[in-house]
Each structure stands twice: as structure tokens, then as C-alpha cells.
Chains A and B, each alone.
Chain A
Amino acid sequence: MNANGMDFTAAERAALDRVSVPAMRPGFAADIVSAATAGVRVPPRRTARRGWRAHGRLLIGAGALVLASATAAATGWFGKLPIAIPGITRTVVVPEVKKPKHVVRREKPKAPVGQAEVATAVPEAAPVLPLESAPLPQWRVQRRRASRRGCR
């Protein structure tokens, strides 16, 4: 027992020491040497993995490649290549559109607002209505006349 075993109590060590190991089958060591010299191949350590863990890296790699290709196609990167890739270049190539000419728009100079108009403007006279034409007094006059006529 080394120093590591000293951390267990006597009871614990007694219990642990009950875990005995059965004997190896006779001739086991000789069989290993025979297998090695006969050229028996050792299976690679990771072959027994199944399912997602077995193909995970492959799937992630394929997914990344597809994503990168789709991004490149969408951005028109294939069209910039010096070689034409049949199918891809033609389908995703961006059609050349004539670049619109940049025209600088010049606006006509505007006359200064306010000064000339103010100088030429004639103030209009306020409308003066005759007394009779005003609706309320006219109505009153008519009413008085009617009442006078009625009184007579």
C-alpha cells in the first residue's frame, strides 16, 4: 500500500481488498505474442462509435461547406472567378446593369421672397357694406315696415 492508501480507514481498506481479480486463462500471454507475430491487426480505438458521434464531424463539415457555398453564390462570388463554373455561374451571375449617370440637378435661382412684392403691392381697401345690405339691420327695417303696415 502506498501513501494513497493511507487515507482510507482500516475498515475501508479491508472492504476494498475483498475485490479480488480472477486468474487469467492459461497461455494467455503466449497467445498475445503469437497474435502479434502473426500480424493480427488492432482495431482502431474509435471504430466502435455509432450514430451521431461516429458521423458528427463529417456532418458538421458538410454543413459548413454547403453554408459557405450558398453564401458565396448569394453574394455573386462565383461570378467573379476567372473561370466559369457551368450551372452555378450562369444561374447566379448578376446581370450587368448600366450604371445610371449621375446628374447634378441645378435649380433656378429664386427671386428673393417678399421685397419686390411688398414694393408693388397695393393694399386693398376693406369692403364697406351699405347699412341696408347688412343682413341683420335690413331684416329689422323690413320687420318695422311690415309691422307699420299691419298697424295701419
Chain B
Amino acid sequence: MRFTSAAREAAAADNDDAVMARIAGRDAVAFGRVVDAHVAMLHRIAYRMIGDAAEAEDVAQEALLRLWASAERWRPGQAGIAAWLTRVAVNQCLDRLRRRRFVSDEEPPERADDAPGAEAQVEEDQLRHAARAALGDLSERHRAAIVLTYYEELPNSMAADALELNLKAFESLLLRARGAMRAALMARGLTSLTGEIAS
């Protein structure tokens, strides 16, 4: 029997409802499975949004603890656990970013030493640092749109839900975010007008 995408989503939502019912009954095993399934995604989103590894762990932990605490208020039939956690994590990131600017905790790469291959490694580090800085150049909401759709490959509807926007508004935001991302990459010397890859 072939499942359509909608049927799969409905089945997943039903499954999420069952899991949340178990978590509401304080089932630590069920909660552990949810943590294992989603903690890496939450950490990735938070790290790319905030740029700080320790703070990204705080965001992931807080989102999951919030799920545990509010499991009794879970309404069956709503968007799944992943969507709920993503929305909470994105909101936390936006809250934190409003209080302070994006600060990468990555150290700028030092100059190359004489070891073979070290120069290439430093150059790669410089490019990675520049890419992180270009992502940090975006506004919080533009960055969230890029992180959710490009890195996490979420469908627009789910990304819109995470940012608490309707689909049209999110698509407009995404369009502007892509433009800003292109401009930031170009400004950092990572791409050129001809599309050449900086190396």
C-alpha cells in the first residue's frame, strides 16, 4: 500500500499525539526518544541562528524541557512535535538575538605554518569563517528563513509555521532573505557576479 505525503503526515501526527500522551503521563523513555530524535536538529538551528555553541545547547535544552513541562496541554491534531519544537527554538533564538547581536564563537583562523597542507587548511578555515560571518550579516528573520529552508530543508509551510507567519508572508520573507544572503556572500568575497567559487 502506497502512502501519500498527507497520509504519512497524518500518521506521524497521530504517532506524535500518542507519544505526547505518554510524555504527559511522565514516561521518561518516551521523552528520551523524542530528545534523541530532535536534539541535534534543535542544536543545529540554534547554532546557525546564534553562532554560539553553548548558547545553542541552552536553546535546545530549554525547548525540550518546555515540551516536557507542557505535555499535559498538548492538543491532539496540532502540528507535530518537530514543528512545535522548531517554533519554540526559533522563538528563543529570536528573543536572544534581540538582546544581543550575532556573535560567532569561532576563532578567526591564524596564518599558515610551514607544515605540508597547513596552508590549505587555513584557507579553508578562512572561507568557513567568512561564510559564518556572511550568515551573521543577515537580519534575525532573514537568517531564520535561510536556516530553516536551506539548512534544515523544511517545507515553506512548516518554516512559516515556525516563524508564526502565513505562507505568503513567509515566501516574501524568504525571497528577501535569499537576496540578502547573496549580497552578504558577495560582500565577503565568497562568490562573484559570475558565480565563481572562491577558493
Binding site for B on A (CB under 8 A): 1-2, 4-5, 7-12, 14-16, 18-22, 24-25, 28-33, 35-37, 40-43, 45, 48
Whether the pair A32, B35 counts as a contact (CB closer than 8 A) is: yes
| A2-B149, A21-B48 as given contacts; A36 in contact with B195, CB under 8 Å | no
Cβ–Cβ contact B39 & A32, under 8 A = yes
Q: How many angstroms between the C-alpha atoms of A78 and B4 in the bound complex?
A: 68
Q: Considering only CB atoms and an 8 Å cut-off, how many residues of chain B contact the other chain?
A: 52
Interface of B is mostly: helix
- Is A11's CB under 8 angstroms from B197's CB? yes
* Distance of A17 from chain B, by nearest CB (Å): 8
Q: Is B57 an interface residue (CB 8 A)?
A: yes
Taking a contact as CB atoms under 8 Å apart, the answer to whether B131 and A11 are in contact is no
Complex interface: chain A residues within 8 A of B132 (CB): 18-19
Interface residues of B (CB under 8 A from A): 26, 28, 31-32, 35-36, 39-40, 43-44, 47-48, 53, 57, 60-62, 64-66, 68-69, 91-92, 95, 99, 127-128, 130-132, 134-135, 146, 149-151, 153, 155-156, 174, 178, 181-182, 185, 190-192, 195-198
> Contacting A29 at CB < 8 Å: which of B26, B36, B135?
B36
Question: In the complex, A126 Cα to B62 Cα: how many Å?
Answer: 118
Q: In the bound complex, what is the Cα–Cα distance between A141 and B197 (angstroms)?
A: 134
Besides A11-B195, A40-B65, A42-B62, 11 other A-B contacts (C-beta < 8 A): A2-B155, A4-B156, A8-B178, A11-B196, A16-B150, A18-B128, A28-B61, A30-B32, A32-B35, A41-B69, A42-B65
Measured CB to CB, the closest approach of chain A to B163, in angstroms, equals: 14
Other-chain residue from B35, B150, B178, B195 in contact with A10 (beta carbon distance below 8 A): B195
Complexed CA–CA distance, A39 and B190 (Å): 47
Residues of A within 8 A of B192 (CB): 11
A45–B39 CB distance below 8 A: no
Contact between A15 and B32, CB atoms less than 8 A apart:
no
Min CB–CB distance A124 → chain B (angstroms) = 100
> In the bound complex, what is the Cα–Cα distance between A30 and B32 (angstroms)?
7
